[in-house]
Amino acid sequence: MAKATARHILVSSEEKCNELKAQIEGGADFAEIAKANSSCPSSRQGGDLGSFGPGQMVKEFDTVVFSAPINVVQGPVKTQFGYHLLEVTSRQD
């Protein structure tokens, strides 16, 4: 069964999400940005969500996590929780 590990940053607006993505692409540390800005409890671990399989996360999240290139920040991804930046850190198909 497929498994992935990923980290994310959850914010309430698309604008904030784009602003943080630009900071990360400009060299800011993903984990530090997550700790300072993410509203998800995972922010304490730098946004790390650990390992999970298909169907364990919301559909929009799953689609990105199981198709996006590894170690490339994706987003904004809108879910019922808000706007996410996602980074797949590993995946086994």
Domain limits for position 23:
1-90
Task: Give yes or no for a contact between 87 and 35, defined as CB atoms under 8 angstroms apart.
Answer: no
- The overall average pLDDT reported for the chain is 97
pLDDT of residue 23: 98
* CATH number, domain with residue 15: 3.10.50.40
pLDDT, tens digit (0-9, with 9 covering 90-100), for 11-31: 999 999 999 999 999 999 999
pLDDT of residue 93: 83
64-85: b (≥16 Cβ within 10 Å) or e = bbbebeeeebbbbbeeeebbbb
- What is the total count of domains within the chain? 1
pLDDT of residue 1: 83
Report the candidate in 16, 27, 7 with the shortest Cα–Cα distance to residue 82.
16
Question: pTM for the full model?
Answer: 0.94
pLDDT, tens digit (0-9, with 9 covering 90-100), for 73-88: 999 999 999 999 999 9
